[in-house]
Amino acid sequence: DTGVSQNPRHKITKRGQNVTFRCDPISEHNRLYWYRQTLGQGPEFLTYFQNEAQLEKSRLLSDRFSAERPKGSFSTLEIQRTEQGDSAMYLCASSRGINEQFFGPGTRLTVL
Amino acid sequence: GEDVEQSLFLSVREGDSSVINCTYTDSSSTYLYWYKQEPGAGLQLLTYIFSNMDMKQDQRLTVLLNKKDKHLSLRIADTQTGDSAIYFCAETSSGNTPLVFGKGTRLSVIA
């Protein structure tokens, strides 16, 4: 069990560019969650999946954000036309059934 | 909507006990968690408690739940410098839905 992994760990981009992040959950974890954390705040829920089905999206997830989990394993989170307000730490977590969520190390996005 | 509140800072001396408090508003909260975050890192699950429990102890950690007052606390016995971090309280109404987090309590341990 290698834990939840996220790539890249850091991303610096210019405003208006598209970025994509990847999350690999703990194997056999059927639920996968994306959260966003800004400085001085707790993580805020963005979206989550059960296997390949996207179950819920937060109102924080604007039209510029899209997430997929095509085969029920890894997931990607894409942000189109990035804005400075998108700068944050993007956290991924996974869980198996009704059990605790385990978090990855996060991807820190900086939009210049 | 759901809300989780925590005090922002706590400072303790090494060897003392730390008590971090949390209040929540959602009466349907069933699972309550404590996570630890060190600088630049992700969140590490420390412990959790179900709403049908009043207390849970795990080595140096003791969680107390007052469901009537919707108050949760985390006590760290014999606090060490390695315990310096931000501690987040989180809740969910079922064990497999998104968590609602507080803003975190920054614990500073003075040697």
User: What SS3 string covers chain A?
Assistant: CCCCEEECCEEEECCCCCEEEEEECCCCCCEEEEEEECCCCCCEEEEEEECCEEEEECCCCCCCEEEECCCCCCEEEEECCCCHHHCEEEEEEEECCCCCCEECCCEEEEEC
pLDDT of A4 over the 60 cut: yes
How confident is the model at residue B51, as a pLDDT? 87
What's the average model confidence in pLDDT over A79-94? 96
**CA gap B80, B17 in Å, rounded:** 9
A37: closest CA among B111, B24, B41, B70? Answer: B41
Distances (CA, A) of B7 to A8, A87, A94, B38, B46: 32, 25, 28, 18, 18
Q: Which of B33, B88, B100 sits opposite A100 (nearest CB)?
A: B33
- Using a CB-CB cut-off of 8 Å, the residues of chain A touching B97 are 48
What's the average model confidence in pLDDT over B10-32? 92
How confident is the model at residue B71, as a pLDDT? 95
The one-letter amino acid code at A60 reads: L
Select the residue from B99, B100, B105 to test the A interface by mutation, using most A Cβ atoms within 10 A: B99
**CA gap B38, B21 in Å, rounded:** 19
Pairs of residues, one from chain A and one from chain B, whose beta carbons lie less than 8 Å apart: 60
Q: Which of A35, A44, A100 sits opposite B45 (nearest CB)?
A: A100
Please state, rounded to an integer, the average pLDDT across all residues of chain B.
92
Unique residue bearing structure tokens 């509140």 = B5
How confident is the model at residue B69, as a pLDDT? 93
pLDDT of A1 over the 60 cut: no
**CA gap A67, A55 in Å, rounded:** 11
pLDDT of A37 over the 90 cut: yes
Test A42 with B101 for CB contact under 8 angstroms.
yes
Contact B43, A35 (CB under 8 A): no
